[in-house]
Homo-oligomer: A and B are copies of this chain.
Amino acid sequence: MTTTPAIPDSPTGTRLMDAAAQLFYSDGVGVGVEKLCKTAGASKKSLYEIFGSKDDLMAASLARSIPTYLAVLLPRAEPYSPPRQRILALFDNLEAIISAPTFRGCPYVSASMEIKNAEHPARAVARGFHNTLTEYFRDAADEAGVDDPGALAVALTVVHDGVTSRAVVQNHADPGLGRAIATSLLGGAGVS
């Protein structure tokens, strides 16, 4: 469903992806190739040789960031913790993320909104992150034995998207907000 872009392994490629991840997040996707290369200490020639295009650098950089981001967002594997606890723990982790003063939105939701062309390769990467998140919720919802685990998983993903968006719009995180809404939805699905 999602195309995974190639993530090059060269030191220059890595520096370019680091610069891209940092600059696109802090300054927006309009950051130019000139600034990217300067920050990375790389030539334009190497950017195009390694990635082919700025768009492909964006996609590779975003894809490369996902495992690190998920390591912070997803609760640590605790095989014996019940599904409800696994779901709510994710919202506690999310709260720590959105409370950071450097938070500018979920990097994947934000990239999707900033990149207006739905066919851009980075948009597929962002969708991949989103689907992974929904699968996490779906696994827990399945285990909890709810009537419609798919619907609950999508609803919890919407809460994730909404809580991160709200923190940007309001420029602050409301303490406990994600957990409270998720708790209500879990209650509605009979998970207590």
Contacts and interface: CB of A to CB of B under 8 A. Distances in A.
Contact of A29 (B28, B126, B174): B28
Contacts of A127: 169-171
Copies in the complex: 2
B27 A168 contact: no
Interface size class of A (residues with CB under 8 A): 35 or more
A169 B130 contact: yes
Nearest to A188: B184
A154 B157 CA distance: 17
Contacts of A163: 158, 162
A50 interface: no
Nearest to A119: B171
Given A158-B159, A180-B151, A181-B185, A116 B27 contact: yes
A116 B130 contact: no
21 contacts: A29-B30, A30-B30, A104-B113, A104-B116, A108-B169, A109-B165, A109-B168, A113-B113, A113-B114, A113-B168, A118-B171, A130-B166, A155-B177, A155-B181, A155-B184, A157-B162, A157-B166, A158-B177, A165-B165, A181-B185, A185-B188
